[in-house]
Amino acid sequence: MLNVSIRKELPSFTIEVDLQFNNGILVLFGPSGSGKTTILNCLAGLCKPSAGRIALGEQVFFCKQQGVNIPARSRHIGYVFQDYALFPHLTVKDNVLFGLPPGPDRCKKKRGYRMSVRETLDTLKIMHLQDRYPAQLSGGERQRVALARALMSEPDLLLLDEPLSALDSQIRQTLQQELKQLQRTWQIPFVLVTHCQKELKALADEIVFLEAGRPVAAPAWQQPLAAQI
């Protein structure tokens, strides 16, 4: 269970969210500048909330009151950034392996579901690209590499910041299905940011609508959909 109850003061407004989420795909939906990325960054440990608490199961990542702030590298969180943040000087394979321990520990399974590099590249259909560099990939291929890298670290939580925004509609639809399937296989919570209504409909198990940093009721155009979900 992901428990997030935080306040983050920004120059233009204050983010205040209080959410509990068990499993599946939680979508943070809102207009540009409503605080979605900042919330992901707080979860990942890249940004410090002004107050509150963040916990995943028994593990407390942040608690202002108790002075806890676990560094990003120790949170076991996968993060697919908006621009994918691949290392341009590393091949696809080395990007995917980045951050894993060297040597035999690289293949150790934490909870039995870590896939080998081969399996990961295969699942995401990028095996044939393993020796290429990011500049030699399409947007959809880069997205798959970023996803593979995030999954190889065997995360307890996966954060996705507009992961499909740069893609055309056909690839977008395919990857939406693949994301949904990955979540069902991995059984870890995904928190996904988007401002695309179609993506929301295709992926969300739960939705938080945000405006200026605060959850709001589903907008009128969304109410029939929110009721279905």
Ligand X SMILES: Nc1ncnc2c1ncn2[C@@H]1O[C@H](COP(=O)(O)OP(=O)(O)OP(=O)(O)O)[C@@H](O)[C@H]1O
Query: Which positions lie near ligand X, rule CB under 6 A?
Result: 10-12, 30, 32-38, 195
Q: Which is nearer to ligand X, 129 or 159 (CB)?
A: 159
Least distance (Å) from ligand X to the CB of residue 113? 30
Q: In terms of CB distance, is 6 or 96 closer to ligand X? A: 6
SS (H, E, C) the chain: CEEEEEEEECCCCEEEEEEEECCCEEEEECCCCCCHHHHHHHHHCCCCCCEEEEEECCEEEEECCCCEECCHHHCCEEEECCCCCCCCCCCHHHHHHCCCCCHHHHHCCCCCCCCCHHHHHHHCCCHHHCCCCHHHCCHHHHHHHHHHHHHHCCCCEEEEECCCCCCCHHHHHHHHHHHHHHHHHHCCCEEEEECCHHHHHHHCCEEEEEECCEEECCCHHHHHHHHHC
| Cβ at position 79, least distance to ligand X in Å | 14
Q: How far is the CB of 26 from ligand X (least distance, A)?
A: 15
Instruction: Kindly compute the dihedral angle of the four CA atoms of residues 4, 44, 140, 201, in this order, to the nearest 10 degrees.
Output: 0
User: Which of 35, 134 has the CB closer to ligand X?
Assistant: 35
Smaller CB separation from ligand X, 38 or 176: 38
Min separation Cβ 151 and ligand X, Å: 23
Smallest distance from ligand X to CB 46, Å:
10
Q: How far is the CB of 227 from ligand X (least distance, A)?
A: 25
Is 39 or 124 the residue whose CB approaches ligand X more closely? 39
CB 205 within 8 A of CB 24: yes
Residue number with CB closer to ligand X (189 or 213): 213
